[in-house]
Structure 1
Amino acid sequence: MTDARYRWVIVAYTLVIQAVCIGVLIYSFALFAVPWLDIFAVPRAEVMLTISVTQVVAGLASPSIGKLMDRYPLRRFVLTGVVLLAAGLLLASFAQALWQIQLVYATLFPVSLTLMSTLASQTLVTRWFVDKRGMAIGISATGTNIGGIVFPLLVASWLVAMGWRETMLWLALVAVVLVGPLTWLVLRREPPARPVVSGGAEVVERHWNTVEILRSPMFWIPSVCLVVLNLAFGALQFNLGAFGRDVGFAGGDIASLIALNAICMILGKFSFGAIGDKVDHRLLYWIAAAFMGLAMVVLQGEPSARQLIAGVVLVGLSGGGMLPMFGLMYGSRFGVGSFARVMGFAMLAMTVGALGPMVAGWAYDITGSYDLAFQSFLALIVPAAVLMFWLPAEPVMRLDRAGQTV
């Protein structure tokens, strides 16, 4: 099979590993949070601290891991990640106190998340694609949401049937069976030394060092602006289980809400990815910011079930657009050779977004509602949208339809 065809096998593979990792660690968290609140009798902010710590540690680890990913084959990283994921689920299933769960979420899970989810997947796709990169990243990124549909529904049924401890054990088995053999088979083939386009042409791109990356507005403008969206997105996503229960949704209905959010994210990723190769990247951000800002308005006060559903749809569409924007904005401006390192630093910047769930939980514990958090996020979205106006154009060499540099 030619490289031009095999690269789509890579896209399908990254879809699977993201579905497993993000579906288990991120989307299923809201469902595990409900029994933990009852069993451990702790405030919401303390439970939300669990997932916030995971994101912070994953972000701190990302620059170093990203630098290594630019140098070594990705197969060993993904295989290590799935082992850590399974080990963490096994250990967490024996926890007798919330701090023990938090310890797993602060150590094994963040490293697993960094090794086998967005950073690894977007690095793989970027290495294999120049033309149609936006579409490829959009398709790849839908894996997170396919996981967000499948795993919450699976976890919700397992929680009712056998409780959260046994559910974690089964998730560990599913992760190993799905990811291990597939990784060994698919990643035996290395990407081309230089990325290819459909016609077989190669592209030579500049390599960036750390200082150049951090000083460039091509890095920090997207990072700052996307952090703002990530704050608001995480605030609803990780509190959705408790928020849904407040509005009157039962356990199965909450799982459906999470699945709806994932479906909308898939639509967002396909849409943003498909048009991202053709339009100004700033326009993509402004659309996502408009959706997120409207969601923060809709969810104010005491939202009805319909308002909560509308908010979930808007947040899903906006959040879905974020992952394609990462790959498009950084990949087109920094190139393939430096992409993993740039994404590593971007993931570090995204640790600020980990405060979103905790801030929302804290606002609820203090005031009895999420309004203060949503209003704060809305106040940040407006200046972020203005800042995006100064995003520099893409300096990376482009190709014409014949595959010639222009």
Structure 2
Amino acid sequence: MKSRVFEKIYYGWFIVFIGALGIFFSGPGQTYSNSAFIDQYILDFGWSRSEVSGMYSAATLVAGLIMMFVGKFIDRFGPRIMMVTIGSLFAIALFWNSMVSSLWMLAIGFFLIRLLGQGSMTLIPNTLVAQWFIQKRGFAFSIMTLGSFISAMVFPVINTWLIDTWDWRFAWQFWSILLLVVFVPFALFGVRNTPEDVGLEPDGFAGKEAKHAKPIMGTTNINADTEDWTLKEARQTRTFWAILICIGIPAMVNTGITFHIISIFGSNDLSPALAATVLSLMAAVGIPMSFVSGIITDRIPTNYLLAVIFIVEIILLTMLLFTTNFFLAILFGVIWGIANGLERISIKVIWPNFFGRKYIGSISGVGVTMTVIGSSLGPLPFGVGYDLFHSYTYVILATLIFPVIGLICALIAKKPSKAQIQA
């Protein structure tokens, strides 16, 4: 029965589903999920907000530095073994968090969920899906990214309900059991590392038709299978470092805004409820925009799309200075969602599009390291700026320099050729 189904439906789309499931279950390691537990720790244990926030930032930073090794393990052992291993370890980490009773336990718990959840549970699906698609890579990633948006929408709601109905310890245990019962079996029995492993080709039945697709922007073939670069070779190119900057800046800026959005809106006489509405709106708008981004990345060079994202980010930061009423807040949420939808796909597909499939784990691992480090550094400047000036105006104005730098890097991050470094 299974073989008959996959004679008509390319198995790569089932891989995309498992990838989306993996990204969904990265939720317990993400900030949008952990925010529901912070006040519980403070109330139950009497810890200060600075202590908990400091532990979270430090754990995130250390986890980010280790992520490049996870990428190398993916290249060595393959996505399937890594997905099952990481999923199982992540479930154990979630159970550990349900037993937290001291600051050192909290620090270890934060480190584990940031390393295994935020980092690894997003890196492995990105690496896996990149192996199965070339011509349709952007569209495949846009479908997989639905797992991220759905996760961001449902985890805060479910966590709040679990904590209010039972307690925060049960909430951690609930996700631990669900991860083991749902995700790990899918990874174990459903994942195949590459299409070649099962006698298929990337893109499946669409592969031959896709070769005749007409790219735009004057390029010859946007997602044609490229040269396979090792991490060492990639590091010799200007493009590699420019992309890293392009990835780190949105992570830093978006995390900084998200972490402080209630306070930022409050300084503009806007309610916390409106701030929460804007966050939900951002996620909702991001869903259709991820599909648009997937279609675009299959047709134009990915670095051009990154340039557009930084232009939108400049507009967003400028708007934040003048968002003082309901209409502007909703408009801000819509534009923010557009930027996030475009960003989530482009930063995933640019690595395999530019550096090939063979060593994508190692290369993407460095990218995820930059993302995690960027997100760990984002909240601090906003907090310090507000404490110093009792306003977010100066720190927002200073932050504008980063998307400008990102825009320049995006424009110079052109697809490399090995002939350039061998010359």
Preserved CA contact (<8 Å) 2:67 2:115: no
What letter is aligned with 1:110? L
- 1:353-381 residue CA offsets vs partner (Å, 9 max, x unmatched): 42002333333444444444433321211
Asked if 1:228 is matched to 2:232, the reply is no
**In structure 2, C-alpha distance between the alignment counterparts of 1:309 and 1:209, rounded to whole Å:** 44
- Corresponding position of 2:3: none
Q: Mind listing any 5+ residue stretches in structure 2 that lack a counterpart?
A: 1-5, 212-223, 419-423
Please say if 1:70 is aligned against 2:75: yes
Matched, 1:280 2:301: yes
Q: Return 76-85 or 43-52, whichever deviates more.
A: 43-52
SS at match of 1:28: helix
- Aligned with 2:384 (options 357, 362, 370): 362
Deviations 1:158-212 (A, max 9, x none): 2332332322222222222221222122115753258523455698753323321
Q: Which residue of 2 aligns with 1:248?
A: 271
Q: CA deviation at 1:322?
A: 2.3
> Larger deviation: 253-262 or 226-235?
253-262
Larger radius of gyration: 2
- Match of residue 347, structure 2, among 310, 326, 332: 326
Kindly provide the amino acid, as one letter, of the partner of residue 378 in structure 2: G
Relative to structure 1, is the Cα distance of residues 69 and 348 closer, same or farther in structure 2, using a 3 angstrom cutoff?
Answer: same
Distance 1:162 1:242 in 2: 29
Equivalents in 2 of 1:359, 1:207: separation in Å? 39
Alpha carbons 2:237, 2:416 under 8 Å: kept: no
Residue identity in the other structure for 2:147:
G
Partner residue, 1:265:
286
Map residues 174-185 of structure 1 onto 2, 5 A cutoff: 174-185=178-189
Could you say which residue in structure 2 is the equivalent of 1:385?
Answer: 407
- The count of corresponding residues between Structure 1 and Structure 2 is 393
Q: Which moved further from structure 2: 44-53 or 212-221?
A: 44-53
Aligned residue for 1:110? 115
Kindly indicate whether the alpha-carbon contact (under 8 Å) linking 1:31 and 1:156 is maintained by their aligned counterparts in 2.
yes
Partners of 1:51 and 1:105 within 8 A in 2: yes
Choose the corresponding residue for 1:22, options 27, 47, 51. Answer: 27
Q: Which moved more, 1:19-28 or 1:226-235?
A: 19-28
Which residue matches 1:404? none
Select which of 357, 363, 367 maps to 1:336.
357
Identity of aligned residues (%): 22
Residue deviations 1:312-363 (CA, integer Å, cap 9, x gap): 4333322332231123322111111121111011122221342002333333
Q: What is the CA–CA distance in structure 2 between the aligned matches of 1:389 and 1:60, rounded to whole Å?
A: 27
Alignment partner, residue 49 of structure 1: 54
Is the deviation greater in 357-366 or in 262-271?
A: 357-366
Structure 1 residue 101: Cα displacement: 1.9
Q: Residue 132 in 1 paired to residue 136 in 2?
A: yes
Distance 1:135 1:283, change over 3 A: same
Query: Which range moved further: 377-386 or 98-107?
Result: 98-107
* TM superposition shift of 1:126: 0.8
Q: Which residue of 2 aligns with 1:375?
A: 397
TM-score, normalization by structure 2 = 0.82
What is the identity, as a one-letter code, of the residue corresponding to 2:142? G
Instruction: Report the AA paired with residue 345 of structure 1.
Output: V
2:421 corresponding residue in structure 1:
none
Q: How much has 1:59 moved relative to structure 2?
A: 2.5
* Residue aligned with 2:101, SS: coil
Q: Does the 8 A contact of 2:36 with 2:159 survive in 1?
A: yes
Aligned to 1:293: 314
The separation in 2 between residues aligned to 1:149 and 1:237, in whole angstroms, is 14
Q: Which runs of 5+ in 1 are unaligned?
A: 397-406
Distance 2:64 2:153 in 1: 25
The 1:383–1:254 alpha-carbon spacing in structure 2 relative to 1, beyond 3 Å, is closer
CA RMSD of aligned residues (A): 3.1
Moved more, 161-170 or 137-146: 161-170
Q: Aligned pair in 2 of structure 1 residues 348, 191: CA closer, same or farther (>3 Å)?
A: same
